[in-house]
Structure 1
Amino acid sequence: MEDLAPGEHLVEATHDDYQEATAVASVEAGKQAVLQLRLAPIERAPGRVIVNADVAKARVFVDNEDQGEAPVVVSEIPAGTHAIRVIAPGRQEFRTTCNTAPGQDCEINAVLAVEGTPVRIEANISGAQFYLNDDLIGPVPWEGELPIGSHRFEIRAEDYRPHSEVIALRSSDEVRVLSFTLVGFDQLTPEEERALERERQIAIRSATSHSAAVLPSDLAILDIGLGYLPMAHMKLGVGIMKYLEAGFAFHTMGRLNQFELSAKAGVQPLKQLSVGGRLTLGGGLGPKRASEPDTPVLGGGVAGAEGEHKTNSFYLGLDAIGTIHFNRAGAVSLWVAMDYHSDRWDWAGDNRSMLHAPLGEEARQNLVRGRIGGALEFTLNKRLNIWGTFEGVLGKERRIYGNVFLKPDKGRFDPQIYTMLGITLKFGSLWDEEELE
Structure 2
Amino acid sequence: MRLHRNLVFAVIDGLNLIFNEGEYADKVVEKLLKRDKRWGSRDRAFVAETTYDIVRWKRLYAEIAEVREPFDRENLWRIFAVWATLKGINLPDWKQLAGTPTRRIKGKFDELSKTRKLKESVPDWLDALGEKELGNAVWTKELHALNQQADVILRTNTLKTTKKDLQHILAESEIKTSFLKAYPDALVLEERTNVFTTDAFQNGLFEVQDASSQKVAAFLEVAPGMRVADTCAGAGGKSLHLAALMQNKGQIIAMDIYENKLKVLKRRAKRNGAHNIETRWIENTKVIKKLHNSLDRVLIDAPCSGLGVLRRNPDAKWKLQPEFLTEIKKTQQQILQDYAKMVKPGGKLVYATCSVLPSENQEQVKTFLTSESGKDFTFVKDEKVLAHKSGFDGFYMALLERKTN
> TM-score when scaled to structure 2?
0.21
Which one scores higher on RCO, CA 8 angstroms, separation ≥ 6?
2
Structure with more of its chain in strand, by fraction: 1
Rg bigger for which structure? 1
